[in-house]
Amino acid sequence: MKKAIWSIAKIALIGVLAYYIFHDIKMSQLLPALLAYSWAWLFIAMASVILSDLILALRWRSLSQYSCSLTASFESIVFSVFANSVLPAKLGEVAKLFYLRKLYGIRLSHGFSLMLTERFFDVLVLGVLVVISAQLYWQDPNVQIFGWIIITLIVALFFLIRSPLARRSIHWMPTAGLRRWMIRLYHHFQVVLAKESVLTLTFWSILLWLSYLFTTMLFFWAVMGLDLSLSQLFIASMVAFVAFSIPLLPAGSGTFQVGVILILTQYGVSKEEALIGSIVLQLIMILPSTIISLVLLQKKELSLKEFMKGDDE
């Protein structure tokens, strides 16, 4: 029953998003908007996406204490992006762990702890950027205060994970197998969250999000040719990031278009320009990884569903 209600609610929400996206759209204006793009800058923006994937791979290699090679890290990153573009609910993150286990022997518990640590640093950096963009957009000190409270809670969670309380709470787990798995996960956290590792991961995470910002701001400014201020480009990029991360549909489809349309139309961009821009930007963000992943899968004679199989650890 609950599943049916959730499915109906999801379909209804998708319908609402589709209505907003295509309502009052003049289809005849979409192609001219696309043809006005700078294609040279578009390919530069696409190349910057590959650079971001490389930074992600370097961070993952560092996070794994170099137990995962740069090649394995890069392959798993692009495979994750590809899987997220076809699987719902960000399952590409899980597919990445199965990819590393199947081809490189990385234990799921180890990979899972690395993934959680990776997401923690992403949320922390993204949170700071969101606070900055919210302050620029609303110019309200209360918004800034609320944002910094959220970030403080995230940092507090980081220290809680490293505390003895986290270790003792594992004994409350209901089964012996789960307790063993959580103990292994806890020890992985203690290694990857050492002081030196935290500094390194902070560096890679900041560099990563700067590369994301470079790609989206370059796209809005150079590819689309929008006459926006630096702060407007920054805010539009942040809205795009948040919308892209909502896992309603694979690759953030629907929510990404709505987010980009909402923010760009507020800056005087036509809805048609904003829509075609959101579609092209989304393709730029996933196409390089998809192409590389398909080549890898063909070369290794594998398919996506094979990585979701296997015995539990």
Higher pLDDT, 148 or 38: 38
Q: Is the Cβ–Cβ distance between 252 and 151 less than 8 Å?
A: no
Question: What share of the chain in percent tops pLDDT 70?
Answer: 94
Higher pLDDT, 150 or 258: 258
pLDDT tens sequence across 78-131: 999 999 998 877 888 888 999 999 899 988 878 888 888 888 889 889 988 988
Q: Which residue has the tokens 């690759």?
A: 251
Give pLDDT, residue 37.
Answer: 95
The overall pTM is greater than 0.85: yes
Q: Which two tokens stand for residue 243?
A: 């919308």
Give pLDDT, residue 50.
Answer: 95
pLDDT range class, residue 238, cuts 50, 70, 90: very high
pLDDT range class, residue 205, cuts 50, 70, 90: very high
pLDDT tens sequence across 5-26: 878 888 899 999 999 999 999 9
Instruction: State mean pLDDT over 249-257.
Output: 91
Instruction: State mean pLDDT over 163-180.
Output: 77
Give pLDDT, residue 133.
Answer: 92
Instruction: State mean pLDDT over 219-246.
Output: 95
How does DSSP assign the chain, residue by residue? -HHHHHHHHHHHHHHHHHHHHHTT--GGGHHHHHHTS-HHHHHHHHHHHHHHHHHHHHHHHHHTTTSS-HHHHHHHHHHHHHHHTTSSTTTHHHHHHHHHHHHH---HHHHHHHHHHHHHHHHHHHHHHHHHHHHHHH--HHHHHHHHHHHHHHHHHHHHHTSHHHHHHGGGSSSHHHHHHHHHHHHHHHHHTSHHHHHHHHHHHHHHHHHHHHHHHHIIIIIS-----HHHHHHHHHHHHHHHT-TTSGGGTTHHHHHHHHHHHHTT--HHHHHHHHHHHHHHHHHHHHHHHHHHHHHHT--GGGGG-S---
Is the pLDDT at 311 greater than 60? The verdict is no
Give pLDDT, residue 262.
Answer: 96
Side chain identity at 12, as an amino acid letter?
Answer: A
Is the pLDDT at 313 greater than 60? The verdict is no
Is the pLDDT at 149 greater than 80? The verdict is yes
Give pLDDT, residue 139.
Answer: 80
**Mean pLDDT rounded to a whole number for the chain:** 88
Is the pLDDT at 209 greater than 80? The verdict is yes
Is the pLDDT at 199 greater than 70? The verdict is yes
Question: What share of the chain in percent tops pLDDT 90?
Answer: 52
Higher pLDDT, 179 or 245: 245
Give pLDDT, residue 147.
Answer: 77
Give pLDDT, residue 307.
Answer: 65
